[in-house]
Structure 1
Amino acid sequence: MRTLMIGVALAGLLGLAGCGTAVATEGRPSWVAAAPAAPSPSASRPPEVVVSQSPSHSPAHSASPSHVPASVVTERAPHKKKRHQDGPADSLMKTGQAGVALTFDDGPDPVQTPKMLDLLARTHVKATFCLVGQNVAAHPDLVRRIAAEGHTLCNHSWRHSLTLGRQKPSVIRADLQRTNDAIRAAVPGATIGYMRAPGGNFTPAFVAEARKLGMTSIYWQVDPRDWEHRPGEPDGAHEAKVIRAVKKHVGKGAIVLSHDYGQPDTIRAYEKLIPWLKQRYTLIALP
């Protein structure tokens, strides 16, 4: 009997020793708008930009002013000593205040950019335009109009190379400087306070070279992937997708990424989105 009891006790001890501690795990969503710990630039990678030829007809407002007024009244975000630079390579994801900033990439586009500017003028909204240098050189009149109407200018590289951030610092700097020079050839003395890496492919070297040229690197918190057209997707469905994505993920302080280059659905989407956004947020231009 005693031998039997000892055997039972030993079996119990061995069973306890074999038990591990249970660890609860939670699956993370593949994309979170609020504040991703490590945003993936490749998750939002627009195609290489190709400079389009000007259409045979003249777009609205193509005859832009030849100079920027000395004083442009616009609502801008006040400067903050510290902002939320928690994007890739310490780029900026949020405005640092409650205001929401709309940003439009890859232009200027001779057809779509004037339509976007008309919409912003009608709705009294200021935005940030991230310009591709070769498109700036092709359409300087549109750059002048963007600046004259009080929008913020942002450097988006010379030709939208998705691998620019992996080049030597001297190559990166030369590309950014060439783009700035083209912008200032269109708008002498223009302030260019921001840079956005093509495809969001920021690297420490990219951010550092932009900083040397006086530019803050801006990422985004909301990406409706307006550049992504699924095969066979109707225009209306694509437009609705953009609207749903912005409404779902926008919040106070968000920087919203969209495109004015070759994206007519985006303009139609913002015709509906801007009134909705203005009812809930203050829309600001980055300073």
Structure 2
Amino acid sequence: MSRRRLIGAGLATVATGLLARDAVALRRAPATMATEPPPALRPPPAKPSPSPSPSPSLAPLSRPVYTLKEFRQVVPGPDFPPNAVALTIDDGPHPAWTPEVLRLLERYHVPATFCLIGNQILGHEAVARSVVAAGHHVANHTWSHPAQLSTMAPEHVQQELDRAQEKIYDSTGHTPTIFRAPGGTCSPAVFGAAAKRGMIPVNWDRDPRDWTKPGTSAITNKLLAATAGDILLCHDGGGDRSQTCAALRTVIPALQARGLQFVLLGAQP
């Protein structure tokens, strides 16, 4: 046999051996190897939408809601208990005071509505999520809390509400249906922007002005004057809220002892 024929025969033998080895390996390989695409070809996991789920637009109101009775007049649902009051907490989330308020509410089994500022959520997304995880509701309190919101151009008002709405949804998974204007001041542009996003403007009728830090006794006395049907206002952001927390430690059990029941505003979507 010539040298060329010997080399050809040797190569054929090697090729036959390699094919046989690969066939055995394929028979022994897990079934997923034949059906699962390589990592580079697998589709990426689905990501949640960063935009809030759309809420149906509403007819704009001409004034905010101040009491539970007024709230039920514009938001259909079962009547609130005759002994009901609602606690609203503004200006958070705050990394120290929001958890303190949450612990206090948990102790007394009190639900509340937290009116969140969009840019205060930045860096505190976990705190915002903890509000919802504890069973409370979240409301839109604008993106940057502009005191002059009622005098701003309509497009700027809409931006303040929309940016906050998107950030709240992106951080908590919930789309607010309640809007709280800074200082409670509204305008046709504010009412229109809120209605466009399916939100009811809600104010309050029991304000201890705790954000001014008037002293624990002053805050306590204002809140203890609450009666059935009231919407109470307190704050967990914007500064030192130790006076607010101290007052609530007295006020909540005292109002409960008088037979008042704390309720949530609306339904969390």
Identity of paired residues, percent?
35
Q: Secondary structure at the match of 1:224?
A: coil
- Report the alpha carbon displacement of residue 121 of structure 1 after superposing the two structures with TM: 0.8
Superposed CA deviations along residues 167-195 of structure 1, whole A, max 9, x for unmatched, are: 1211111110100111111122x130111
5+ residue gaps, structure 1, are: 1-84, 231-237
- Report the alpha carbon displacement of residue 138 of structure 1 after superposing the two structures with TM: 2.5
| Alignment partner, residue 68 of structure 2 | 95
Is 1:284 aligned with 2:268? no
Partners of 1:94 and 1:201 lie apart in 2 by 16
Moved runs in structure 1, 4+ residues, more than 6 A?
A: none
Is 1:158 aligned with 2:143? yes
**1:245 counterpart (222, 238, 256):** 222
Q: TM-score, normalised by structure 2?
A: 0.69
**2:177 counterpart (193, 198, 201):** 193
Q: TM-score, normalised by structure 1?
A: 0.64
Spell out the pairing of 1:220-231 with structure 2 (5 A cutoff). Answer: 220-229=204-213
Partners of 1:159 and 1:174 lie apart in 2 by 10
| Alignment partner, residue 145 of structure 1 | 130
| Alignment partner, residue 264 of structure 1 | 242
- Report the alpha carbon displacement of residue 229 of structure 1 after superposing the two structures with TM: 3.1
- Report the alpha carbon displacement of residue 264 of structure 1 after superposing the two structures with TM: 1.1
5+ residue gaps, structure 2, are: 1-60, 70-79
Partners of 1:217 and 1:139 lie apart in 2 by 25
- Report the alpha carbon displacement of residue 163 of structure 1 after superposing the two structures with TM: 0.6
| Alignment partner, residue 78 of structure 1 | none
Task: Tell me the C-alpha RMSD between the 2 structures.
Answer: 1.5
Partners of 1:213 and 1:201 lie apart in 2 by 18
- Report the alpha carbon displacement of residue 127 of structure 1 after superposing the two structures with TM: 0.1
Is 1:119 aligned with 2:104? yes
* Counterpart residue type for residue 67 of structure 2: K
Partners of 1:156 and 1:174 lie apart in 2 by 12
Partners of 1:285 and 1:101 lie apart in 2 by 6
Bigger Rg over Cα: 2
* Counterpart residue type for residue 203 of structure 1: S
* Counterpart residue type for residue 283 of structure 1: F
